[in-house]
Amino acid sequence: MGRNPGQGRRPGPAPAPAHARPHQQRRTPRTPRTPPPAPALPMTDGYRHEPGPGPRLRADVVDVYIVRGAWGQPQPSRAPQLLLIKRAKPPLLGTWHPVMGHIEPGERAWQAAAREASEETALNVWAPPCAGFFALEQVHPFYIAALDCVVLSPRFLALVEPPWEPTLNHEHSAARWVQLDEAHSHVTWPGQRAALAEIRDALSRSPSPHSRPHADPGRQHAAPMTLDLLRLPPPTR
């Protein structure tokens, strides 16, 4: 009795017909390569392998810095000024701050910033005399011991033109303008001084130091290059 040619062979895919085209040839699937294990890094004695209990992390507070200047004039008559408002209620009673507020449920941070600017100063950041509304890159980190939480507060910038003046609500008792270059000595917290440094740097990165940050694409004024990347467009309805 003759031997079956297939006897003794390991099972496998049937060979393709001799007349099969290249794309019809059966290919043996490749075994995926397993990457080598990452080298173990030495563990520092001062750190735990897994995080333990600690303060809560939250990001539901926004800061809005309102800066007034003659952005449309090649040689403005006055230097940019920062608006500071005085808190009328504890726990920050009597201290001077930029606009600050909480993000409400369903809001995005930039929406909360626009709303707080409107509520606390009556500024509409999407219309003149506001020349531009911007999301700063850095956030304001701070710790609240009474709540045992770390807050990461998004920061925003609104540029306005004179003679705009704020209309305060019940949360604040007074307002004042200070020179932007000197504002660091008038604010309360180190994180606010860091925000002012970022604002001054962004305003300085302009082809023309006194060019206006245009609020819409149709304007011909050049905007600071850094601020162009941070500009917030008006919301679509």
Residue 16 lies in a domain: no
> 26 in helix, strand or coil?
coil
- Residues 214 and 231: their CA atoms lie apart, in Å, by 10
Instruction: Give me the amino acid identity at 79.
Output: A
Q: Number of folded domains in the chain?
A: 1
Residue 23 lies in a domain: no
Residue 27 lies in a domain: no
CATH number at residue 162: 3.90.79.10
Residue 51 lies in a domain: no
pLDDT band for position 216 (cuts 50, 70, 90) = very low
- State the pTM of this model: 0.73
Average pLDDT of the chain to the nearest whole number: 82
List, in order, residues 6 or more apart from 76 with CB less than 8 Å away: 69, 70, 210
- The share of the chain scoring above pLDDT 90, in percent, equals 55
Residue 63 lies in a domain: yes
User: Burial of 118 by CB count in 10 Å (0-12 exposed, 13-18 middle, 19+ buried)?
Assistant: middle
Tens-digit pLDDT profile for residues 95-146 = 999 999 999 999 999 999 999 999 999 999 999 999 999 999 999 999 999 9
Residue 225 lies in a domain: yes
Judged by average pLDDT, the poorest of 3-12, 111-120, 132-141, 148-157 is 3-12
Residue 111 lies in a domain: yes
| Segments forming the whole domain that contains residue 158 | 56-230
Residue 7 lies in a domain: no
- Residues 144 and 20: their CA atoms lie apart, in Å, by 74
Say which residue, 14 or 163, is predicted with more confidence.
Answer: 163
> What is the separation of C-alpha 232 from the centre of its chain, rounded to a whole number of angstroms?
11
Element (H, E) at 115: helix 109-121
- Residues 153 and 57: their CA atoms lie apart, in Å, by 11
